[in-house]
Homo-oligomer: A and B are copies of this chain.
């Protein structure tokens, strides 16, 4: 049997509450008793039982993160950052993978409700009503990450890429660089933040610059190498007049697009410029991708959980700061 607070109290010849006070640094304990307690704790290698504590305090010191796919490098990076932030606040991070199945997500959220987690970060892809209903059941702070709810008001604090402005900036940049025929390959419109808004940013930038966009220049595919390959292929096959640049909704899409272009002997960036999103593959891929990098994601996200009570009230949509990075997959159009 593990050693309990009562064992420490007996060993240190003090009462149980005194031990509790010492351990939690709360209340007032004389220096003498404090030392006796600390000595006993170390001697007996006492570890307070988290369950017993949680039962009373209603806290668990656990921050839960529910994400679609832990093997996604972008996700993994953010988890790393969240973990660092939790550590700073003396919390432990619990991660749950929901395999992009909202049904599984709801199952997991129910498990988390039983555990009375102190905070929840939900990294969603598609936020439907049953899922949102489940999120409402939490009494702890809930943060939506990576994906927000399209409709008007902000029911949960939401932290995402500033997809709209970033896509505009990218498109503007390419236009500045002399490109006129610019295509777009992104994720689909069901993905509001990462699909719809990026497309919108691109379209608005084009329009404001008085540039025509034929429908055949726009592809909405999966966020994957295959998606990028397929999208580029369609654009290639359906446009006798090729674009000189392509805005991609993710680095994976950019990789797929470049793969396809290579397969038809087009060179990047000599023949076609390709712009990515996420800064996810910079070290391994053969061409350093021009891309959009979001900064301090995990930190910005996670700190929302630790805001003071009064600030928790006002929910808002927060964007990561971002940088548009020019690298070698794009160049000035002659």
Residues of A within 8 A of B (CB): 2, 45, 47-52, 54-55, 60, 62, 69-71, 73, 76-77, 79-80, 83-84, 92-97, 108, 110-111, 113-116, 137, 139, 225, 255, 281, 283-286
Contacts and interface: CB of A to CB of B under 8 A. Distances in A.
Contacts of A48: 114
A107 B271 CA distance: 54
Contact of A47 (B94, B97, B110, B286): B110
B116 A51 contact: yes
Nearest to A258: B286
A284 B285 CA distance: 6
Contact of A51 (B45, B54, B285): B54
Contact of A255 (B55, B71, B92, B284): B284
Contacts of A225: 283-284
A96 B83 contact: yes
Contact of A92 (B76, B111, B286): B111
14 contacts: A45-B137, A49-B55, A50-B115, A51-B52, A69-B80, A70-B70, A73-B76, A80-B97, A83-B96, A92-B108, A92-B111, A93-B95, A255-B284, A281-B284
Copies in the complex: 2
A83 B284 CA distance: 27
Given A51-B116, A114-B47, A71 B77 contact: yes
B60 A71 contact: no
Main secondary structure of the interface of A (DSSP, over half): mixed
A80 to B, nearest CB: 5
A49 B69 CA distance: 28
A51 B54 CA distance: 6
A289 B148 CA distance: 39
B55 A83 contact: no
A92 B97 CA distance: 10
B97 A49 contact: no
Given A71-B77, A73-B76, A285-B285, 18 more contacts: A2-B139, A45-B137, A47-B113, A49-B55, A49-B116, A50-B114, A51-B54, A51-B115, A52-B55, A55-B55, A70-B79, A71-B79, A79-B95, A79-B97, A83-B97, A92-B96, A92-B108, A285-B286
B60 A70 contact: no
Nearest to A117: B50
A258 to B, nearest CB: 10
A107 B51 CA distance: 19
